[in-house]
Structure 1
Amino acid sequence: MPESVAPSQPVTAGRPIVFYDGGCPLCRREIGHYQRLDSAGAVDWRDIHADATPLADWGITWDRAMQRMHAISAEGQIRSGSWAFVLVWRHLPYYRWLGGTLHRLPPIVWLMDRVYNVIARFRWRSRCDSGVCRPGR
């Protein structure tokens, strides 16, 4: 389920923020696809591999962010995993209908999140658990 807003969160300027691992080839490819669709600049894309410092503003540790994709809604709510994808999709052309539909179907997103957890755990173990993907500072 979506995480709540911490009391001292910075404002997101009306657009969601997405934290992603720009050092991961799979992540780069998927986020690159979304960025190409985001010609209106509806999402604030943040590569935490290049600069992990913005995570601290939201109380998200680097390890947590590397294990699951995190996004911040325009209202300041933290989302992770499949909930983060649904948030992103609601702001992108071609995916907007899917994000809007799934947003109203939490049990489906919960099931998607179970699958996402398996993929995310595999990615973490194969790439990050060894310390290979430490972020730039």
Structure 2
Amino acid sequence: MTKTDVLYNGECPVCSFEMDHYAKIADRDDLPMTFQPLKDNAADWGIDQDDAAKRIHVRRDGQIYVGMDAFILLWRDLPRYGWLATLCSWPVVRPATVFLYDRVVAPLIYGWHKRRQRKAVT
């Protein structure tokens, strides 16, 4: 299996919970995956921290995947998640999952992240 790097918002409780779960599976099964919080790693990816906070990013073979494409790639390699990658890749389901992630889920989580940042400053 090719090495997979995951860049995520480690300051987001939702993102951290999910990525910590995936990291435990990857560690348990000795999968070639690294999970990198964006705070310390976004620059290494050539991504602005704020842009990186908006969606999950996965890098494999020098190519970066964002959003649902990133999740599908990640799920394909994780035991017990292959079915989810397959389901989200189906031609009828994929546009709906991309729309929901890009237009609903990711903006809600990003907005929550920005509100937490503002509260931390005041």
Aligned amino acid, residue 66 of structure 1: A
- What is the TM-score of this pair, normalised by structure 1? 0.71
Distance 1:62-1:94 versus aligned 2 partners, 3 A rule: same
Q: 37, 42, 53: which one pairs with 1:66?
A: 53
* Distance in 2 between residues matched to 1:19 and 1:29, nearest whole Å: 14
Please state which structure has a larger fraction of its residues in strand.
2
- What is the TM-score of this pair, normalised by structure 2? 0.79
Q: Any unmatched runs of 5+ in structure 1?
A: 1-13
Question: What are the within-5 Å matches in structure 2 for residues 109-120 of structure 1?
Answer: 109-117=94-102, 118-120=104-106
- Give the ranges of 4+ consecutive aligned residues of structure 1 lying more than 3 Å apart after TM superposition: 100-103, 129-134
* Distance in 1 between residues matched to 2:48 and 2:110, nearest whole Å: 15
Please state which structure has a larger fraction of its residues in helix.
2
CA contact (8 A) 2:7 2:38 kept: yes
Is 1:122 the counterpart of 2:108? The answer is: yes
What is the percent sequence identity of the aligned residues?
Answer: 32
Q: 40, 45, 64: which one pairs with 2:35?
A: 45
Distance 1:77-1:106 versus aligned 2 partners, 3 A rule: farther
Name whichever of 64-73 and 33-42 sits farther off: 33-42
Q: Any unmatched runs of 5+ in structure 2?
A: none
Work out the number of aligned pairs and report it: 117
Q: Which has the higher contact order (CA 8 A, sep 6+)?
A: 1
